[in-house]
């Protein structure tokens, strides 16, 4: 374990009881409504915050404690801490809403109190074809609408089809944006250096190209590209200790991946993969190929990983620095315990919930918030139900 992670676990372990006591307590009604799940370190209470969301895709906290929730069907909602869901926020651009397409990720910009800036990804229709796009806008809370909407990045080329948009957008420690882009179902084009299919791009908040990007000045590679070789990366998080970007990616049949994404690296799809095609036939050359970076962790059978969060709060000190991964096909929350860059243990949680988990977000209160994926979906809050237990 790194020195930073070890120190943080010790400090938070000593202060766990104090932190838990200082955290805002849920109402008596919420305590009674929550279901308790037993895990390695904690008894967890899963408390419903809001219900009736239609295919929610992403959750982001505003500074005042309210939450933005994107619904893939093309609506942006504001949810209060007590679970009231607003009418749709006006001002979204035209969306392509079909299968995996629609309104996707949303991220609140820095210094939101002054700028009111947010960033979101969506599937953008063209005259004939569709592609992942990134937009920025200002949220006018009084008028309940987006203003100054501007598309700052478009995946190229636009293609036919309604799947593999990728589309997580996260802020790096320098304020620049990382955006994950899927292969749009055309895996044979991912290793084509002239496209942004199956890549992670890094852009300025206004869509400009950072001078430090690895392919700036390369004639055959779009300068926004940061890393390549992905299939459908639907979860991303920046490590607050190291500033490193971590991404979870959907494999084909088997071979889902967790990758530590470094500048200029190629993560293999579809040349190197732990997965196979639907009929069991091999894809590429197998798990490893020269010049391609293998995953830090993989899943076979697939769990269909979606949201990704790195836990840094005080309510779950035993989880300090661990990854929390939502599983769609696996219908669970997965905790990956790590020692620096290595995954040393995996714990499946919340299997009894039996729900597709789309997004996982640490709240400002140290609790963990989950979005399920369904036409009538839930926003849940995960919190300790009792004192931490010794691992058994």
Which CATH number covers residue 281? 2.120.10.30
Residues of the domain holding 115: 61-297
The model's pLDDT over 138-183, given as tens digits with 9 standing for 90+, comes to: 999 999 999 999 999 999 999 999 999 999 999 999 999 999 999 9
Distance between CA atoms of 50 and 14, rounded to whole angstroms?
33
Distance between CA atoms of 274 and 298, rounded to whole angstroms?
8
Do residues 238 and 119 share a domain? Answer: yes
Mean pLDDT confidence for 79-90: 98
C-alpha angle with apex 242: 239 to 243, nearest 5 degrees?
Answer: 60
Question: Residue 62 CB: number of other CB atoms within 10 A?
Answer: 18
Q: Which residue has 């919190």 as its token pair?
A: 383
Do residues 48 and 87 share a domain? Answer: no
Tokens describing residue 58: 């992403």
Mean pLDDT confidence for 347-364: 97
pLDDT(16) > 90: no
Do residues 123 and 190 share a domain? Answer: yes
Domain boundary among 281, 297, 313: 297
Do residues 132 and 35 share a domain? Answer: no
Report pLDDT for 346: 98
pLDDT(1) > 90: no
User: Which of 150, 147, 213, 151 minimizes the C-alpha distance to 176?
Assistant: 213
Tell me if residue 164 is catalytic. Answer: yes
Do residues 268 and 318 share a domain? Answer: no
pLDDT(108) > 80: yes
Span of 4-13, 115-124, 254-263 with lowest mean pLDDT: 4-13
Do residues 93 and 135 share a domain? Answer: yes
Tokens describing residue 59: 């959750």
Question: Residue 250 CB: number of other CB atoms within 10 A?
Answer: 27
Distance between CA atoms of 275 and 269, rounded to whole angstroms?
10
**Peptide bond preceding 95: is omega within 30 degrees of 0, i.e. cis?**
no
122-125 contact pairs (CB < 8 A, 24+): 122/92, 122/93, 122/95, 122/96, 122/167, 123/95, 123/96, 123/97, 123/162, 123/165, 123/167, 124/93, 124/94, 124/95, 124/96, 124/151, 124/154, 124/158, 125/94, 125/95, 125/96
Domain boundary among 297, 328, 350: 297
Report pLDDT for 25: 33
Do residues 105 and 147 share a domain? Answer: yes
Do residues 266 and 378 share a domain? Answer: no
Do residues 148 and 289 share a domain? Answer: yes
pLDDT band at 389 (very low <50, low <70, confident <90, very high): low
Domain boundary among 262, 282, 297: 297
Give the count of domains, the chain: 2
Do residues 217 and 148 share a domain? Answer: yes
Do residues 260 and 173 share a domain? Answer: yes
pLDDT band at 219 (very low <50, low <70, confident <90, very high): confident
List Cα–Cα distances, 335 to 39, 172, 238, 319, 343, in angstroms: 10, 23, 16, 8, 10
pLDDT(331) > 90: yes
Asked if 384 contacts 45 with a C-beta cutoff of 8 angstroms, the reply is yes
Of 41, 144, 164, 274, the catalytic one is 164
Regarding predicted confidence, which is higher, 3 or 282? 282
Do residues 240 and 383 share a domain? Answer: no
């Amino acid at each position: 374990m790194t020195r930073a992670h070890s120190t943080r676990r010790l400090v938070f372990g000593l202060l766990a009881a104090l932190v838990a006591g200082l955290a805002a307590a849920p109402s008596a009604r919420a305590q009674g409504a929550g279901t308790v799940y037993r895990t390695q370190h904690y008894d967890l209470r899963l408390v419903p915050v809001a219900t009736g969301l239609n295919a929610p895709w992403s959750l982001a906290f505003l500074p005042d404690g309210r939450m933005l929730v994107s619904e893939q069907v093309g609506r942006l909602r504001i949810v209060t801490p007590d679970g009231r869901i607003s009418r749709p926020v006006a001002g979204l651009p035209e969306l392509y809403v079909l299968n995996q397409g629609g309104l996707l990720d949303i991220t609140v910009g820095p210094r939101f109190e002054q700028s009111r800036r947010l960033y979101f990804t969506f599937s953008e229709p063209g005259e004939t074809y569709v592609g992942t796009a990134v937009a920025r806008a200002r949220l006018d809370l009084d008028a309940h609408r987006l203003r100054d909407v501007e598309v700052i990045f478009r995946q190229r080329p636009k293609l036919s089809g309604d799947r593999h948009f990728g589309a997580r957008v996260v802020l790096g420690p320098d304020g620049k944006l990382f955006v994950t882009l899927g292969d749009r179902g055309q895996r044979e084009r991912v290793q084509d250096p002239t496209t942004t299919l199956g890549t992670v791009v890094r852009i300025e908040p206004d869509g400009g190209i950072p001078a430090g990007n690895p392919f700036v000045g390369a004639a055959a590679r779009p300068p926004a590209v940061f890393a390549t070789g992905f299939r459908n990366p639907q979860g991303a998080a920046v490590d607050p200790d190291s500033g490193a970007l971590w991404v979870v990616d959907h494999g084909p049949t088997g071979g889902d991946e967790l990758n530590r994404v470094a500048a200029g690296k190629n993560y293999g799809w579809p040349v190197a993969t732990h997965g196979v095609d639907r009929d069991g036939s091999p894809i590429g050359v197998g798990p490893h190929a020269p010049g391609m970076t293998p995953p830090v962790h993989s899943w076979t059978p697939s769990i269909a990983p979606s949201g990704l969060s790195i836990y840094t709060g005080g309510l779950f000190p035993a989880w300090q620095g661990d990854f929390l991964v939502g599983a769609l096909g696996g219908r669970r929350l997965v905790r990956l315990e790590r020692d620096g860059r290595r995954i040393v243990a995996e714990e499946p949680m919340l299997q009894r919930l039996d729900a597709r988990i789309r997004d996982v977000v640490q709240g400002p209160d140290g609790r963990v918030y989950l979005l399920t994926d369904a036409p009538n979906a839930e926003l849940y809050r995960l919190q300790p139900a009792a004192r931490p237990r010794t691992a058994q």
